[in-house]
Amino acid sequence: MGTEVEKNVEELIKWEKIKYEVPDLTGMVETPKIEEFASRKYTSQLFKNKDALQRLGYPIEGLIPDWKTKFLEKFDEILRKYRSVKLFMDICVRCGACADKCHFFLGTKDALNMPVARAELMRRVYRRYFTTPGKVFGKSLGAAEELSEELLALWYIYFYQCSECRRCSVFCPYGIDTAEITMAAREILNSVGLVQKYMHEIIDKAQYIGNNLGMIPDAVRNSIEFVESDLKDQTGMDIKIPLDVKGAEVLFVTPSADFFASPHIESLYGYAKVFHQAGISWTMSTYASEGGNFGLFSSNYNHVKIINKRIWDAARELGVKRVVGGECGHMWRVLSSYSNTLWGPFDFLDPKHPIPQHICEFTLDLINKGALKLDKSANDAFTVTFHDSCQVARGMEMGGSAHGQYEIPRAVIKACVNKYVDMPENTIKEKTFCCGAGQGLLGDDMLPIRVKGAMPRMQAVKAVKDSHDVNFLALICAICKAQMSKMFPTYGYPMEEVGGIHQLVGRAIVLGAKEGV
Amino acid sequence: MGTDRIIFAVLVYAVTCIFIIGFVGHFARWLASPNPLKIPTGPAPVTQGGTALRVLSEVVLFRSLFAADKGLWLGGYIFHLSFLIVILRHLRYFFYPVPEWVMFFSEIGIYAGFTLVLSLLYLLLRRLAIDRVRYISNFMDYLYPALIIAIGTTGLIMKYVARPIIVDIKDFMLHLMALSPIPLPDSLDGMFILHLIMVLLLIFLFPFSKLMHAGGVFITPTRAMVNNPRTKRHINPWADEEWGKRLAEAEGKPDAYKPWSMEQWREKWGQK
């Protein structure tokens, strides 16, 4: 019986290479008519590495035979641990305010990609097993649904077609945050043995080896040496990227993609030049060689906590005074919003600076102090626009202000370029559209859904390309960079038009011009 | 006065008790689940006062809904405001003498009765007309507006067509309030009884339904949490217990990430 059940569900969510069409670009985002199960086939691969699953604490043989019991146990546990989930199960009135706000719905037209419909997948189960009306009145009157393999398959498919970007939460009259619901659903799926590959492979690597890319310390060192010699070739100067230096002022953490991926590495050049020019002693760490924290993407508190631990252990061991985080969206959310809860208080750090500090806060502070000389004309080839990363834009304050996360990155860009223009108002700041690959959807197996999910952002890009000849999309997130450098060519634009803010800073900075701070 | 009509008094008391216990119980169950992490949706105020204002702006102005959908906001706002005014108008049955401010709502409450019904008809039509909203709607989503429309309509009928004897209603209510219930006066006939029963049904269903959004909106974590995680440490009450479990699981398993200590990690991955 057990194996029969397993085969059944795995058949329903079987991954296969499918053909997809790239949407036409018109510069407008139109709300489509709903289509049932339009993206039903866009599934992601299951994780089958038994060693890793063992380490993660999840079932290693796929769906467990008595999955319904475990499913409800885990659901109950999450309801008791997370007020957000409990409350969001109860108070939705299905007004539809969120329905046309999700980039995956706009891109796929699939009815179940409306945030409310996605959440209803969970609410149907919630009502059936955790509420009196659902238990008594059942399916039609109570809108409740028995657990079944079909429903389980829909959970797996559609909770991995959500990038937890929280755009729906901005528009919900009760602030219902589908990200919280998706995170909970994913952890429930994990507990019964349906573990998604891309995301959990990385959660495993980050805990087991120390960074998302699985680079051992020597590999990190080699990459950094390569970057240093590259900087030497570019500038003729000895710009160092210090590693594991005790007593440095700043510990700098950044996504490991910045070590060699393109265009990420261009921002690493920028960070190094900023530290060099400011004359602030800094270090990176081979132990805390990852800023990103994929643990955020499911409600597994200990995963997010263990991954976060490295940064603060390294900060303590190296005896630094400040911790600065590089360009990464979800990393920044965990670092700024969760770190203090997970591993605080950080009373060993210098309270004069934000703990931790975002690289844009750091750089803008130096610019405002006059410690950096910037030559805007170095970027005159570019007309720049800025994509607010979802986890930053709808995450926490920067610079102590509720709107700092919008103003500070823009201020840094404007200090480095002459030509800057914003995308349409309903696609930026708190209303920003996700890149379409956040929170565990960046795998190659999810390319069809990534292409559809990127559509609203690409339409906004098209709009400013038409009106202002924009040719550079500035980003502050490793996932956005990876996704957009893939989507630009897919939608017919050059890949080189995508890059980080510190790529622009690095190009504009005049080295050796001043003494620094 | 038929003594069997004491049943209405009993019903009112029963439903009131169920409502209070249900509402408080529901709220208590929410509060029993903690907020492990800071999750306000940005842009979020960085002070306690600002956060209170934010929640208030959601409750009083439906601010997020306004950003989402102007038509829905207008319909929803008119409905909620009308409902509130109609309830305030009904306070005149609960007070003797009737205070000045209740008299004010008593006047405008007549218009609110019409806007209540009309706005709900609009919301109901909208639910049917837009494919997205129709797709997500379940039976209860139609039942509640239909029920409130029926309540409003019977109320308006009593105002304009079949007027009941107000003094009898007031007598009944004041006795209920004084905890010395009397049977429902015989003059109050079908239309009033229908109105009353439907109101009681609505109040009865309230704590077990989506109508609890009226309570939840005050504590929804994405709106009611302060945006200050870097300056004020938020405590997760179950973090230590969870952590202890993980450490116990990892005990004696050399390959489990426990978390690793820095030394263990260096040993394994060859840090100099």
pLDDT in tens, A278-333: 999 999 999 999 999 999 999 999 999 999 999 999 999 999 999 999 999 999 99
Residue A2: per-residue pLDDT? 46
Residue A516: per-residue pLDDT? 62
Q: Which of B62, B65, B148, B213 to mutate to test the interface with A (most CBs of A within 10 A)?
A: B213
Residue B261: per-residue pLDDT? 77
Q: Which amino acid is at A399?
A: G
> With the C-alpha atoms ordered A337, A339, A345, A347, is the resulting torsion angle positive or negative?
negative
Average pLDDT over residues B104-117: 93
Return the residue matching tokens 């494919």: B131
Q: Which residues of B touch A93 (CB under 8 A)?
A: 141, 210, 213
Q: Which residues of B touch A130 (CB under 8 A)?
A: none
Rounded to an integer, what distance in angstroms lies between the CA atom of residue A244 and that of residue B38? 31
| Closest alpha carbon to A376 in A432, A430, A416 | A416
Residue B270: per-residue pLDDT? 73
Which residues 6+ apart lie within 8 Å of B138 measured at CB? A94, A143
Q: Which residues of B touch A120 (CB under 8 A)?
A: 136
Partner A contacted by B242 (CB < 8 A): yes
pLDDT in tens, B161-195: 989 999 999 999 999 999 999 999 999 989 999 99
The residue length of chain B stands at: 272
Q: Which of A37, A78, A90 to mutate to test the interface with B (most CBs of B within 10 A)?
A: A90
Rounded mean pLDDT of chain B?
93
pLDDT in tens, B163-172: 999 999 999 9
Nearest to A84 among B39, B234, B265 (CB): B39
Give the three-state DSSP class for B97: coil
C-beta atoms of A210 and B38 within 8 A: no
Which residues 6+ apart lie within 8 Å of B29 measured at CB? A86
> Residue B268's pLDDT band (boundaries 50, 70, 90)?
confident
C-beta atoms of A170 and B67 within 8 A: yes
Query: How many Cβ contacts (< 8 angstroms) between chains A and B?
Result: 243
Q: Minimal Cα distance from B42: which residue of A?
A: A394
Residue B267: per-residue pLDDT? 84
Distance of CA B51 to the CA centre of its chain: 20
| Closest alpha carbon to A364 in A303, A406, A310, A426 | A406
Nearest to A94 among B141, B217, B270 (CB): B141
B56: how many CB neighbours lie within 10 A of its CB? Answer: 12
Each residue of A267-288: b (16+ CB within 10 Å) or e? bbbbbbbbbbbbebebbbbbbb
Rounded to an integer, what distance in angstroms lies between the CA atom of residue B116 and that of residue B109? 10
Residue A1: per-residue pLDDT? 42
Nearest to A99 among B36, B38, B133 (CB): B133
How many angstroms away from the CA of A494 is the closest CA of chain B?
Answer: 32
Partner B contacted by A139 (CB < 8 A): no
A319: how many CB neighbours lie within 10 A of its CB? Answer: 13
Residue A133: per-residue pLDDT? 86
Q: What is the 3-state secondary structure (H, E, C) of A352-379?
A: CCCCCEEHHHHHHHHHHCCCCCECHHHH
Residue B132, token pair as written in the block = 């997205």
Residue A517: per-residue pLDDT? 62
Nearest to B223 among A175, A397, A429 (CB): A175
Rounded to an integer, what distance in angstroms lies between the CA atom of residue A41 and that of residue A22? 16
ipTM at complex level: 0.94
Query: What parts of chain A have a pLDDT lower than 70?
Result: 1-7, 513-517
Q: Which amino acid is at A332?
A: W
Interface of A with B in 149-178 (CB under 8 A): 166, 169-177
C-beta atoms of A90 and B212 within 8 A: yes
Determine phi and psi for A434, rounding to 5 degrees: -60, 155
Residue B250: per-residue pLDDT? 79
Nearest to B135 among A79, A111, A313 (CB): A111
> Residue B259's pLDDT band (boundaries 50, 70, 90)?
low
How many angstroms away from the CA of A154 is the closest CA of chain B?
Answer: 16
Residue A251: per-residue pLDDT? 98
Nearest to A210 among B220, B242, B265 (CB): B265
Return the residue matching tokens 């109508």: B211
Contact A299/A186 with Cβ under 8 angstroms?
Answer: yes
The crossing angle, in degrees rounded to 10, of helices A67-81 and A115-130 is 100
